[in-house]
Amino acid sequence: MKPTKTAALEARLKQLRQTFRAQLPARLDTLLNQNKQLAWQPENLQIVAELHRLTHSLAGAGGSFGYHQLSDQARILEDALIKLINEGEPVGKQARQAISLKLDKLRDLSLKEPEGEEQYAQRPVFSNMEFDLAEQDNLLYII
C-alpha cells in the first residue's frame, strides 16, 4: 500500500475511534434508559430485544476500537439478554437487577481509556493489501 493511502486510512481509523469514544456516554445512556423502561414493562420483550441489539453493537464496536474489557462485558450482558428473549417470559426482578449490575459495570468500563491505543498508531493497517480509498470508507462503515 502506498504511504499516502496508509496515512489516510490511519487518519480515518483514528477519527472513527475518537467518534466512538465521544459517542460512548450517549450509547450507555440509551442502554440505561431502555433498562428503566424494562423495569416499568417487564413483560415487553421488545425492550429486551432492543437492549440486546444495542449491547451487540456496543460489544462489536468496542472490540474494534480497543475497548476489549468493555466489549467482553457487553458480550456477557448480550448472552444474558439472549437467554431472556429465548425464555419468552416477563423479565423477573432478579434478572432486571442482574442487567442493572452489568450495565453499571459497562458504564465504569466506558470511562477507561481503550487498551492498546498506542498499537493503532504504530502498526500499519492492511499493510499487504491494496484498496481504493472509496472502498476503504465502505469497509470502515461496516464496523
Q: Which amino acid is at 77?
A: L
Residue 22 pLDDT: 95
State the DSSP code for 6.
H
Q: Which amino acid is at 53?
A: R
pTM confidence score: 0.76
Residue 66 sits at φ, ψ, to 5 deg, of: 95, 5
Kindly report, residue by residue over 112-143, the tens digit of the pLDDT: 888 765 444 433 344 444 444 444 444 444 44
Residue 106 pLDDT: 95
Residue 116 pLDDT: 61
Average pLDDT for the chain = 83
Set of cell numbers at residue 88: 419468552
CB 55 within 8 A of CB 78: yes
Residue 89 pLDDT: 94
State the DSSP code for 111.
T
As a whole number of angstroms, the distance between CA 44 and CA 30 comes to 17
As a whole number of angstroms, the distance between CA 117 and CA 134 comes to 25
As a whole number of angstroms, the distance between CA 71 and CA 37 comes to 23
Look at residues 51, 116, 123 and name the one whose alpha carbon lies nearest to residue 81. 51
**Segments in the chain below pLDDT 70:** 1-3, 116-143
Look at residues 81, 96, 89 and name the one whose alpha carbon lies nearest to residue 44. 89
* Percentage with pLDDT > 90 across the chain: 64
